[in-house]
Structure 1
Amino acid sequence: MNDRLKQAHASRSAAVKAGLDHPVIDTDVHVNSFAPVLEDYVAQYGGNQLVDALRKALGGRFVTRSGGKDWYQQTPQERQDNRTLRAPWWARVTRNTYDLATYTIPSLLHERLGEQGSDYSVLFPNDVLSPAAAGSEFRQPLHRALNHFHADQYQAYADRLTPVAGIPMHTPKEAIEELEFAVKTLGLKVINIPGGVRRPIRAIAEKYPAKEHPEVAKHAGYIDFYGIDSEHDYDPFWAKVVELGVPVTTHYGSQGWTGRQSISNYMFNHVGHFADGSQAFAKALFFGGVTRRFPGLRVGLLEGGADWGSHVYTHLVDRWEKRNKVAVRNYDPAEADVDLLAALFERHGAELLKGRKVDKSTLLRDSLGISALPHSREPDESEIDDFALAGIEKVEDIRDRWVNSFFFGSEADDRTVAAAFNERVHPLRVKVNAIWSSDVGHWDVPEFTEPLAETWDLVEQGVLSAADFKAFVFDNPYRFYTEANPRFFEGTEVGRKLAAKGKQ
C-alpha cells in the first residue's frame, strides 16, 4: 500500500498542478453511497418501508422491462417484439479497486484530491436523484433522507468537498420545500435537478387510465422541461433558487428518446445523449423567459460537453435574425405581391404553364406548392414571435440570456471543448462558459489521477491555450458558483488560497 501511495502521489496530474498559480475546481465527481450504511440511515429516517422504497427505486434505475422481464431475461425475439431498450451496463469503476474505494470512502477521497490535482470538488452521489422513481408517496421523504445522509457523510470534509442536494421537480411546491430544507437546514450549497419530468398526455390518460392501461401510459407521455409549455408555474422555484444563492446543476440524458432506442447497443443510445437532454432543458428556460426573468440564475449542464452550448448560441442568433417578429414577415403570404407574381408568370412562365391561364386567386397557393399552406388559418399577431417570452430585441439579449446564464460541463479529455473558447465563430465574439467536469467515478474515467493531466495534454497539443486551460479549470467554475453565491468558497481550500494571494 505504501508503494502504491508513493506512486499515486507522483501522478501526472499532481505534476501539472505543481506548475499552476491558481486553484483547480472539479465540478463533477461521482461518488458511491456504501449500501449498508445508507440503508441504516434511511431506516432511522423513515423505517423499513422507506428502505424498501429506496431499494425499489435504485434497483429499477437502469433496468428496462417488458412483460415483467428485464433485457437480460428476454430472448432476442422478445426484445424485438417489445422494443426493450438496451440500458447502461458496467458503468462504474471496479478493476481499479483503489479508485473504487476512493469513490466510496469520504476520507480517502478527501485525502487523494492532491493526487488528482483538484483543490475543491463538487460531488454527485450516484443515487442522488434515484427517489424520482419512487412514486409520489415516497419521492419527497427519500430525497430528504438521502440529502441528509450525504450532508452528514461529507460534513467533516467541507474544506474541499461538497455534495449536491437532489431536488424533486414534479411540482414547484415540493421542489421549494426540499430546496429550503437542503440549504437552510443541511447547509448544502449546490442542487442537482432532473432536466425534465415525464407526465401523461391528459387527453389520452383520461381515455386510457394508467391503472387499466399501463402499456398505454408507458408510451403516451411528454417531458415537461419547466420553462415552456408547463402545466405548472415554476417561477416561484427559480425565484427561491436565486434568493438562496444556489447554483443549479443537471445531468440530464435522453436515452430512450426517439433516435436513441436501440434494443441492442448501449453506445448507440449513449453518444450525445447528455447534450441532447440538456439542450432541451436549456432551450426551455431560454424560450420560456426564465433566464430573462431571473438573470441571476446560474445553471450548470454537465456531462454533455460545451460544443453544443456554442452551436446553440450561434444558431439562436442565426434564427432570430431570420425569424424575429419583423424579419418573419418575409415569409408572410400576405406580403406577396400577387400582381407582380402574375406578371412574371405571363412573361417567363409559358413553357411551365403549357397553355394554362394565370389565375390570381390561386396563383400564390399554386406557386408555393400544396404542402406550403396546410393550416386552417394564418397565425395572428400574438403567435408569430417565438422569441417573445425570452424578450429578445437585439443580439445582446441572446448573449445575456444564454451565455451569461449557462455553464457547460466538459470532461477532461474532450477536444471539442475548444469550440467554447473560439470567440471568432460566436456572435459578439464571446466565449461560452465551459467548466471542468472530470466525471471521475464513472466509466468515462478509468483512472482517478489522470483527468487534469489529460486536459493539460490539450494545451500541449495546441487544442487549448494556457489561458483557456485556466478559464476551464478555475475561472469559469469559480464564476459559476460565486455569481450565484459570492460567499460560496468561504472556509474552503480555494478561499484560503485566494485569500493568501489577496484575491478574494
Structure 2
Amino acid sequence: MNTRLNPAKASRSAAVKARLENPVIDTDVHVNDYAPVLEDYIAQYGGPKLVDALRKALGGRFVTRDGAGKDWYQQSPEERAHHRTLRAPWWARVTRNTYDLATYTIPALLYERLAEQGSDYSVLFPNDVLSPAAAGSEYRQPLHRALNHFHADQYRAYADRLTPVAGIPMHNPKEAIEELEFAVNILKLKVINIPGGVRRPIPAIAEKYPAREHPEIAKHVGYIDFYGIDSPHDYDPFWAKVVELGVPVTTHYGSQGWTGRHSTSNYMFNHIGHFADGSQAFAKALFFGGVTRRFPGLRVGLLEGGADWGSHVFTHLVDRWEKRNRHAVRNYDPAAVDVDLLAALFDQHGADLLQGRAVDKATLVRDSLGISALPHSREPNADEIDDFALAGIESVDDIRARWVDPFFFGSEADDRTVAAAFNHRVHPGGVKINAIWSSDVGHWDVPEFTEPLAETWDLVEQGVISAQDFRAFTFGNPLRFYTEANPHFFDGTAVGRQLGLAA
C-alpha cells in the first residue's frame, strides 16, 4: 500500500485560518505521556520506588474506593450509596479516532498537524502533569521535577510552535518556589499549571481523629485552601517569584466531589460547571485576599470553565461593593435604627399586628429583625465590616483592575456562552472580559482535532460573536495573557516571526 498512515487533510479550520490576517494561539491542548519513556525519566530521579509512586498516583487519580478497597466498578449500587462513592470521570480521552490519539501522544505528529487545526502556537497540558499532587509529600517534588523534565525534553525541538506547561505543587510556598525556579531557570519552561486549591485537614477535627487512626474520617472531613484568603501559609513569596520570573499562571481546577457534585452514579451530573465553580473559588480568593492588588503584574488563566462566570462575578462584585462597601454597609447596622421612630410607627400603624400587645422598646429592634439583630460579643472593627478591605477597593475602577485585568478565562471553541464576555453593554464601565481560545483537544469534548477553529467561526456566522470578538478570542486576548506576564514570551516563535518580534 502506498497510502500514508497520516495524510494531511484539508480541514474546515484550515480554510478559516487562510482567511485570517492574524496568528491563532491555542491556550489549551491536552497531550498524552507515552508511559515507557516517561518512566525512564522517573526512574532517573528516584528509581523503581518513584516509578511505583507515579503509577499509584495515576491509578488513583480518578478512582474512588470504599473502606474495603473496592473501586467504583467493583461496588454494587447499594455499596456506592452506602459509602457515597463518587462517579469519577471515565472514557475521558479520544480513542476511536486513532489518528488523533496518535497526534496527542507523538510530539512530531502534533507539530506536523497544527496547520490542519488552524493554529500557529499551542500551549500543551500533559494529561498527567498534576497527578504527582496525589502522591505523598515524600514523592511530590521529585515526581513533579521528573515529569517537567520529561515534557521539556519531549517538546524542545518544537518550541517555535509548542510549549508544555510545568506542573507546580502548591502544598506550601517553599515547595512551590523550588519547583517553579527549577522549571523556569533550569528547564526553561515558561508557563506553569497549578491546582487551584489544596485540601487540608480541619485542625480541631484532626486533633481528635488523627488521619493515621481514622483514614475514612480524614478522607471526608477537611477544607480547601485557595491560597489567597484564610490560608495557614503566606503565599505572597510565591506570587512575587512568579511575577519576578515573568510566568503566566494557569489552572484547570475543578470541583467534582464537592457538595452538589457528588453523584454516585452520574459523571455528567458531577461534571457540568465544575471547572467554573472550582476556578471561581480560586479567583475570588486571590481577589478578596488582595493578591491581585499586591501583585498587579500577575496574570492567571482559568481554563475549561468558560468566560461567562468571569462576566457575572465581575458584575456582582460591583453590585455588592456598591451596597456593602465600608460606608454603605452601615445602612444595615442594627445600632442605626431610630428606636423611638420605630416605636411610634408601631403605635400608629401596628394595631392589627400587635393585637393588644404593648411595644417593648428594649427589644423592639430584635423583635423586628430577628437573628440579624442579636448582639455580638463586641462591636466589629473597621476591617471586619469591610469584606473588600484586603482587596483595597475604593472604586469600580479598582474592581476592574483587580478582576478584569489579571484574569483570563479559557473558553472552548464551541462554547456559545463566550458571548457574555464580549457583551460590554452588561458590564460596569462597558468593559469586556478576557476570554481566551482554548480548544481542549485531547479530551472527549473534541472528537475531531481539526474542528475547533471552524466551530468558533460558526459562532460568528450564527451572530453569537462578531468577527472582532473572534480575533480577540483567538489572538488578541491570548497574546496579552502571555506577553503581559512576559513581554518576550513569543520571541523566536512562529507567532513572534509573524509579529516581527526578536528571534
Q: Same fold (TM over 0.5)?
A: yes
Look up the equivalent residue of 2:59 and give its one-letter code.
G
Cα distance in structure 2, aligned partners of 1:4 and 1:273 = 38
Partner of 2:60: 60
* SS, match of residue 360 in structure 1: coil
Q: Deviations over 1:240-283 (max 9, x none)?
A: 00000000000000000010010000000000000000000000
Partner of 1:297: 298
Q: Relative to structure 2, which stretch is displaced further, 352-361 or 24-33? A: 352-361
Cα distance in structure 1, aligned partners of 2:428 and 2:13 = 35
Partner of 1:113: 114
Q: TM-score, normalised by structure 1?
A: 0.98
Supply the RMSD in Å over aligned alpha carbons.
Answer: 1.3
Give the deviation of 1:46 after TM superposition: 1.6
Q: Deviations over 1:336-391 (max 9, x none)?
A: 11111011011000111111111111111111135653754542333100000000
1:250-261 map, 5 Å = 250-261=251-262
Question: Are 2:196 and 1:173 aligned?
Answer: no
Partner of 1:10: 10
Partner of 2:288: 287
Change (3 A) 1:96 1:364: same
Verify the 8 A CA contact 2:308 2:418 in the aligned structure 1: yes
Q: Deviations over 1:420-478 (max 9, x none)?
A: 00000000100000000000000010000000000000000000100000000000000
Partner of 2:43: 43
Cα distance in structure 2, aligned partners of 1:371 and 1:308 = 30
* SS, match of residue 469 in structure 1: helix
Q: List gaps (5 residues or longer) in structure 2.
A: none
Cα distance in structure 2, aligned partners of 1:250 and 1:5 = 32
Cα distance in structure 2, aligned partners of 1:373 and 1:305 = 41
Q: Deviations over 1:154-211 (max 9, x none)?
A: 0000000000000000010000000000000000000000000000001111111110
Look up the equivalent residue of 2:439 and give its one-letter code.
S
Verify the 8 A CA contact 1:320 1:387 in the aligned structure 2: yes
Verify the 8 A CA contact 1:9 1:114 in the aligned structure 2: no
Q: Deviations over 1:305-326 (max 9, x none)?
A: 0000000000000000010000
1:231-250 map, 5 Å = 231-250=232-251
Cα distance in structure 2, aligned partners of 1:30 and 1:168 = 19
Report % sequence identity.
Answer: 85
Change (3 A) 1:428 1:503: farther
Cα distance in structure 2, aligned partners of 1:216 and 1:264 = 22
Look up the equivalent residue of 1:36 and give its one-letter code.
P
Partner of 2:423: 422
Partner of 1:24: 24
Partner of 1:465: 466
Give the deviation of 1:220 after TM superposition: 1.5
* SS, match of residue 184 in structure 1: helix
Cα distance in structure 2, aligned partners of 1:178 and 1:443 = 30
Cα distance in structure 1, aligned partners of 2:408 and 2:502 = 23
Give the deviation of 1:98 after TM superposition: 0.1
1:386-405 map, 5 Å = 386-405=387-406
1:285-364 map, 5 Å = 285-364=286-365
Question: Are 2:253 and 1:270 aligned?
Answer: no
Cα distance in structure 2, aligned partners of 1:313 and 1:414 = 20
Question: Are 2:188 and 1:183 aligned?
Answer: no
Q: List gaps (5 residues or longer) in structure 1.
A: none
Question: Are 2:483 and 1:495 aligned?
Answer: no
Cα distance in structure 1, aligned partners of 2:182 and 2:370 = 59
Cα distance in structure 2, aligned partners of 1:209 and 1:45 = 32
Partner of 2:101: 100
* SS, match of residue 362 in structure 2: helix
Verify the 8 A CA contact 2:6 2:99 in the aligned structure 1: no
Look up the equivalent residue of 1:58 and give its one-letter code.
L
* SS, match of residue 9 in structure 1: coil
Cα distance in structure 2, aligned partners of 1:187 and 1:341 = 69
Look up the equivalent residue of 1:56 and give its one-letter code.
K
Question: Are 2:165 and 1:164 aligned?
Answer: yes
Change (3 A) 1:80 1:432: same
* SS, match of residue 481 in structure 1: helix
Cα distance in structure 2, aligned partners of 1:425 and 1:370 = 36
Give the deviation of 1:4 after TM superposition: 7.2
**How many pairs does the alignment contain?**
501
Q: Relative to structure 2, which stretch is displaced further, 146-155 or 33-42? A: 33-42
Partner of 1:476: 477
Cα distance in structure 2, aligned partners of 1:4 and 1:430 = 48
Partner of 2:435: 434
Cα distance in structure 2, aligned partners of 1:488 and 1:245 = 9
Cα distance in structure 1, aligned partners of 2:434 and 2:192 = 19
Q: Deviations over 1:91-110 (max 9, x none)?
A: 00000000000000000000
